[in-house]
Amino acid sequence: MNLEKLIPYEAEIKKCFRCSLCKMAPLAVYRDVRFSNNCPINNYYQFHAWSGSGQQFMALALAQGRIEADQKLADIVFSCRSCGYCDVACKYIMDAERHLVNMALKETLAEGGFAPEEHKAACANIREHGSPFGSPAEPWENGLGIKQASRQKAKVLLWAGCSARHDPRAARTTRQFARILQKAKVDFAILGEGESCCGLPAYWSGFGDLFTQSAHKAGTAMERSGAKTVVCVCGACLGAMRSKFPAYGVRVDAEILHATEYLERLIKKGRLKLEAPEPMRVTYHDPCYLGRQAEPYIHWKGVEKTAFGQMTYTDPPKKMRYGTEGVFDAPRAVLNSIPGLDFAEMYRIREYALCCGAGGGMAEAHRPMAQKSAASRIEEARDVGAQCLVTACPHCRNHLEQTARDNGLDIQVADIVDLTARAAGIQ
Ligand code: SF4
Ligand code: SF4
């Protein structure tokens, strides 16, 4: 097995002293024992291997040749959501790169042929059809009279994300967002059939080469559109573009915003008026790839050095990313602009948010575990009295909604775009 991606991380991995903070909310934000566990896989399996630290130790044992890769090991590694919580939690106590080790481990195993069949199938679909879905693509934009970027230039490019062509709920949300832009008289275009997957499912699955190809393709299409601003409706696409594209060498000069950031601008400039009241209590779930995982990439070139045989440091000093620079404020500002909405925060929020369980592209393959995470999130929402759990990513919305339905949990789940459209009088 080729271990060249893991070996450079040996010193990094050895910084882990198994304190287990990566499984829990740090004390600074801890409010209630029921909502203190923050690693979805550890919550479910309750064994150290299924945790951020467990990933580090499996990576180290592989890198040092003490164990061989096998399917059991791969099953544990790929059950991880790559939600990035352990990375942020570990940085609460030390400067360490847990997420990079996690991804190097997944890439090593995927190259060795150990990726789960569901991941291989999604990646084959991206290669052949430009999206991870096996279903036929349906246009979401019919009848809206939107400019096609291939024929007409516009200042703004609306990036729908591939869910919009394969999932009717996501299609409706994207249509609502387009109608908001039309109401605010924004000059925008779409790529239509020319839009392909941002590649994030390949990233999650450890297929780094496919992710790089997909990111290049998406980045080139965005640049060719000539738009100065790209607005993503999907939170996962935003995280891929802002954080992972540059990490894999794909540069896009256009400003890249999430729908909530663009909505906040429209509201502040008075171009979007929210007047239809929504009298209910809501809370907000931070999607991992819109939140901590969307923190912009920071390039660093240098060497890691060792002092006194054990201590490691970087030369020049590496600027760490703590997950705090993701898209956290804009969704809250939009919700607080909707008249009648009573907004209440949950306990595990912002960079310390609990993954809904759908991350890592494995909601289907590890359904009971994924649903346990979503059910915990719904319980937390109900604990703060929310009638509606709002989020800003089609994957989180679908998974939370499905979990509520399957378990008879009494709560509405909504995308922030749909709520905003209603408040703007768009039905
Ligand atoms: S990864 Fe970090 S937080 Fe987790 S056990 Fe190791 S040192 Fe502690
Ligand atoms: S990335 Fe998320 S699911 Fe994976 S080990 Fe870390 S906290 Fe757990």
In a domain, 338, yes or no: no
Q: Which domain holds residue 236?
A: 122-268
In a domain, 398, yes or no: no
254 touches 157 (CB < 8 A):
yes
Number of other residues whose CB lies within 10 A of the CB of residue 268: 11
| Residue 90 CB–ligand 1 contact under 6 Å | yes
In a domain, 426, yes or no: no
pLDDT at residue 272, as a whole number: 98
- pTM (2 d.p.): 0.96
Q: How many domains does the chain have?
A: 1
Among 9, 22, 86, 102, name the best residue to mutate to test ligand 1's pocket (greatest count of ligand atoms within 8 A of Cβ): 22
Among 21, 94, 100, name the best residue to mutate to test ligand 1's pocket (greatest count of ligand atoms within 8 A of Cβ): 21
| Residue 90 CB–ligand 2 contact under 6 Å | no
What is the pLDDT tens value at each position of the chain, 427 positions in all?
Answer: 899 999 999 989 999 999 999 999 998 888 899 999 999 999 999 999 999 999 999 999 999 999 999 999 999 999 999 999 999 999 999 999 999 999 999 999 999 999 999 999 999 999 999 999 988 899 999 999 999 999 999 999 999 999 999 999 999 999 999 999 999 999 999 999 999 999 999 999 999 999 999 999 999 999 999 999 999 999 999 999 999 999 999 999 999 999 999 999 999 999 999 999 899 999 999 999 999 999 999 999 998 888 887 778 899 999 999 999 999 999 999 999 999 999 999 999 999 999 999 876 667 778 899 999 999 999 999 999 999 999 999 999 999 999 999 999 999 999 999 999 999 999 8
Nearest-atom index, ligand 2, CA of 102:
1
pLDDT at residue 362, as a whole number: 61
| Residue 53 CB–ligand 1 contact under 6 Å | yes
In a domain, 162, yes or no: yes
- Residue 171 CA to ligand 2 center (angstroms) comes to 30
- Residue 258 CA to ligand 1 center (angstroms) comes to 31
- Residue 174 CA to ligand 2 center (angstroms) comes to 29
- CATH at residue 246: 3.40.50
In a domain, 296, yes or no: no
In a domain, 346, yes or no: no
In a domain, 177, yes or no: yes
Question: What is the C-alpha to C-alpha distance for residues 36 and 104, in angstroms, rounded to an integer?
Answer: 28
pLDDT at residue 360, as a whole number: 67
In a domain, 391, yes or no: no
